[in-house]
């Protein structure tokens, strides 16, 4: 509630906020409260015993990096539909289980785990990406309000790039790209934007650039998703 009040998050804003939480905060009570407020979640569940019991329902495990993932019909009543994933990993010759709950619509189980795992070091990674990729450290304004506006605009750009990455770059050759490489190697490809009645109708990129064709596919998907 304190975060919600501090950020002045209304109902429409809450729909676009994703809470990523580890097992220490992933109790049913906490998840139910967030969902009732309209937030999106990507959370690790609190009980490993529950995860092991649910793992008995799994009929298919898919390999992801050094673990195995599965999705089961949600056995949870949290007030809103959620997706439930089970992860198993081998530790000391024994399988360990955990479960994850999400409201997000992503194309594959690996996408969910990638999103959950990316929460680690968020402060360090975000500040480094913004300073290097968005040149926050090299831009300074003399007036306090001007500098504040610059930081807020940088935050907006950070969120737009993060949204673009999670919606269309995951699963492509651009998935490893952080903000710096997205800005430097993708968003600076020469090209043209064609508008009709103030609406973007077509994008043309420099054909000789090696990233033009795969980026156009990503841009088309991003526009169609919106």
pTM of the model: 0.55
Structure tokens at 3: 């975060």
Q: How far apart are CA 211 and CA 221, in angstroms?
A: 16
3-state SS class at 55: helix
With beta carbons less than 8 A apart as the criterion, state whether 4 and 19 touch.
no
Nearest partner of 158 among 183, 190, 188, judged by Cα: 183
Render each residue's pLDDT in the chain as its tens digit; 226 residues: 677 777 778 888 888 888 888 877 878 898 999 999 999 999 998 888 899 999 998 989 999 888 999 999 999 999 999 999 999 999 888 999 999 999 998 888 888 888 888 765 545 455 556 666 666 666 677 788 888 888 888 888 888 888 898 889 988 999 888 888 888 889 889 999 888 888 888 889 999 999 999 999 998 888 876 5
Fill in the DSSP letter of residue 135. Answer: -
């Amino acid at each position: 509630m304190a975060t919600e009040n501090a950020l002045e998050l209304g109902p429409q804003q809450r729909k676009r906020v994703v809470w990523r939480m580890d097992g220490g905060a992933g109790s049913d009570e906490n998840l139910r409260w967030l969902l009732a407020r309209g937030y999106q979640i990507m959370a690790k569940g609190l009980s490993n015993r529950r995860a092991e019991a649910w793992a008995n329902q799994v009929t298919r495990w898919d390999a992801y990096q050094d673990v195995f993932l599965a999705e089961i019909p949600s056995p949870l009543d949290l007030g809103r539909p959620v997706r439930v994933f089970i992860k198993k990993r081998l530790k000391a010759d024994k399988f360990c289980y955990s479960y994850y709950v999400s409201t997000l619509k992503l194309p594959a189980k690996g996408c969910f785990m990638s999103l959950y795992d990316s929460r680690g070091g968020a402060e360090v990674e975000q500040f480094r990406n913004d300073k290097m990729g968005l040149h926050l450290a090299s831009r300074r304004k003399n007036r306090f309000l001007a500098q504040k506006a610059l930081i807020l605009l940088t935050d907006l750009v950070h969120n737009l790039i993060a949204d673009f990455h999670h919606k269309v770059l995951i699963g492509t050759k651009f998935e490893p790209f952080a903000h710096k490489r997205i800005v430097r190697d993708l968003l600076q490809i020469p090209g043209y934007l064609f508008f009709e009645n103030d609406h973007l109708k077509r994008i043309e990129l420099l054909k000789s650039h090696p990233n033009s064709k795969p980026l156009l596919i990503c841009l088309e998907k991003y526009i169609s998703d919106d």
